[in-house]
Structure 1
Amino acid sequence: MSLLRVLGRPMLASMFVAGGLESVRSPESVAPAAEPVVQPVTDRVAVLPDRTEDAVRLSGAVQLVGGLLLATGRMSRPAALAIAATLVPTTLAAHRFWEEEDPEQRVQQRIHFLKNLSMLGGLLIAADDTGAAPSLLWRSRHAARDLRRDAHLVQRSVRAGARPAAAAGRIRAKLPG
């Protein structure tokens, strides 16, 4: 693993480990801000908890565990996707700059919104990062190409060997017996 991955993944994960831990410990501190986003989502997704505090705690747990997995490089691709899935509603709930009346607060909320958007971009890149190893898709495409090439070579060698054998058979058939 490259030095950039060794340093970059924990740096990206640090915010989610800290924020996730805070959400697990005291979800009531962010539940009022999360309410407008959590309730419509929990109404549509039956497996999510009905109470806002429980949904915030679940989101925090996903961010905490996903952050730890991402930081350590274990299952980092699914961990990054899981964190990204929790970041979208978190951002929409916590940084609603378009609803702010105070210009200074609007600027601050827009900065935080864009910061979260940037972190989402980093998570999507991390979710696509194969750690310098070829992805399964790349490996399967190249294995299929190699098989086609090998089959073509076998076909050519069979044809190349068949011509002299056929000629020898014709000559042998003409010889007296």
Structure 2
Amino acid sequence: MTGKGPRMNPVRTVARALLAAVFVRGGLDAYNNPDRFADTAAKVTERLGSTLEAVGLPTDPRALARTTGIVQMVGGVMLATNTFTRPVALALAASLVPSTVAGQDLWSEAEPGGQPIDRPEVLKNLGLMGGLLLAAVDTEGKPGLAWRTSHLAEHAQDSVKRAAHTTTKETKRAAQLTAKEARRAAQDAQRTAHTAARDAKQAVKSTAGGLLPG
């Protein structure tokens, strides 16, 4: 086995490159020509001005258009090069939400015949968001977070069981060794006492023999 990681699936590579190209091109256009997107950005700031301020985004339409352009350019390049793909895909999807929300009232406009006007831009945003969400949940054949979490939990449980089993065995072994040592100590003490008693008897006999008249 080599130390190389898994090879990138060619279909994923092409799909991400095509998806990223839309954002790189659109982001570059928004950054270089913010006036073209000022009207849409103005609708976003009117609807979501307080939210934009809360997250630190500009509320000036031109500045918002350029900021969105930067996010989409950088995110598109990272998506195309498979760099932090999943969080980048979520960030790009989030960059489409304001303009999509701001454009929802376009659906209420109608043609002279009473039919609602078809707005391809909104549909395009929704389609791109769908592709980005798929990229965000794509694990490239590797186990997902739920499986890895469950696997880690099972592994931890097995480790605890093995540790408990090992501790029990060691405790029993220590108890057995202690019992053997106690028996050995008792035997040694018994032998010592027996030897002392025998020596005492011999000493008594020798003393008694020395006291008797010859």
Q: TM-score, normalised by structure 1?
A: 0.81
2:95 is the counterpart of 1:86: yes
CA deviation profile, 1:123-146 (whole Å, cap 9, x unmatched): 122223334444567545534432
Query: Alignment length, in residue pairs?
Result: 176
Q: CA deviation at 1:79?
A: 1.5
The higher radius of gyration belongs to 2
Residue of structure 2 equivalent to 1:121 = 130
Shift of 1:71: 1.0
Aligned equivalents of 1:31 and 1:139: distance in 2?
Answer: 45
The letter of the residue matching 1:108 is D
In 2, Cα distance between equivalents of 1:57 and 1:156: 63
Cα distance in 2 between the residues matched to 1:140 and 1:60: 37
Matched-pair contact (CA < 8 Å) for 1:49–1:55: yes
Q: Deviations 1:121-174 (Å, cap 9, x if unpaired)?
A: 221222233344445675455344323312311221332343354245334433
Are 2:49 and 2:59, in contact at CA under 8 Å, matched by a contact in 1?
Answer: yes
SS at match of 1:30: helix
- The aligned runs of 1:15-164 (5 Å cut-off) are 15-46=22-53, 47-94=56-103, 96-102=105-111, 106-109=116-119, 111-134=120-143, 139=148, 141-164=150-173
Give TM-score scaled by structure 2 length. Answer: 0.69
Taking CA–CA contacts closer than 8 Å with sequence separation of 6 or more, which of the two structures ends up with the larger relative contact order?
1
Partner SS state of residue 108, structure 1: coil
Percentage of matched positions with identical amino acids: 35
Range 160-169 or range 42-51, more displaced: 160-169
Deviations 1:60-112 (A, max 9, x none): 11111111111111122221111111101122334644232226994531x44
User: 1:95, 1:112 within 8 Å by CA — same for their partners in 2?
Assistant: no
Q: Hey, which bits of structure 1, 4+ residues long, moved more than 3 A? A: 93-97, 103-107, 130-145
Find the aligned partners of 2:116 and 2:106 in 1 and give their Cα distance. Answer: 5
CA RMSD of the aligned region, Å? Answer: 2.7
Match of 1:14 in 2: 21
CA contact (8 A) 1:70 1:76 kept: yes
- Return 5+ residue gaps in structure 1 as ranges: none
- My pick for the range that moved more, 125-134 or 20-29, is 125-134
